[in-house]
Copies of this chain bind each other. A is one copy, B any other.
Amino acid sequence: MRPREFDHDDVLRIAFDQFWRKGVRGTSLSDIARDAGVQRGSLYNAFGSKEALFLQAYERYAGDYLLALQKVLGAGSLRKRLTAFFDLTITNFRTGSPPRGCPTTRGLMELGAAEGEGLDEEARQAFANLISRITALVQDALSAGAARGEFGGNPAAAALHIITVTRGLAVLERAFGDEPQLRKIAAHTIDLVLDKQGR
């Protein structure tokens, strides 16, 4: 056995950074190879394909991100939790310059509509999976809030609504790049859901 000459995790991080900034289709394996100081062929040998490499890098990101969300969604009043949740969400795709956007949303929209086109079904499931798990976290927070009388609606419906808004924010971020506006929408959403419309 000959040992790898590069660190698996280093490559994963470097690759995801590129994918995040430029999208999967917009990132070439040559770019990653150059950045990581690895030969292009070695990447194919180690990961099989660009999509497989992306998937591994994405899973890594998804795990980290879920942990961070779990943290902010688990402490404080419901309003505080939701505020922190939106905050982390917006911060997540507003970091970097230019801002990197939301990798999940970008990945989803990069999917080919037809079969075989672009990213494959496995990637779609990875994206859907992260969204589902985030939805579950939000729903848990809402249910906990309901138990404490901080919320009187349907946790499942409200969680879905909140998630939809975060996905929409990811899109508007791309369109306008106007962070204050995103935060306003987030605040408004919290008001709507908590039924204090601030009028």
Contact = CB atoms under 8 A, between A and B. Distances in A.
B168 A131 contact: no
A171 B195 CA distance: 26
Q: Interface residues of A toward B: which range?
A: 35 or more
Contacts of A118: 22-23, 26
A22 B117 CA distance: 7
A161 B81 CA distance: 20
How many monomers of this protein are in the complex? 2
Interface in A108-122: 108-115, 117-118
Query: From DSSP, what is the main secondary structure of chain A's interface residues?
Result: helix
A143 interface: no
B128 A99 contact: no
A66 B114 CA distance: 27
Interface in A163-199: 163-172, 174-176, 181, 184-185, 188-189, 192-193, 195, 197, 199
B124 A175 contact: yes
A183 to B, nearest CB: 12
Interface of A: 20-23, 25-26, 96, 98-101, 105-106, 108-115, 117-118, 124, 127-128, 131, 152-154, 157, 160-161, 163-172, 174-176, 181, 184-185, 188-189, 192-193, 195, 197, 199
Minimum-distance CB pairs A-B, first 6: A168-B168, A164-B168, A109-B109, A167-B168, A167-B171, A108-B174
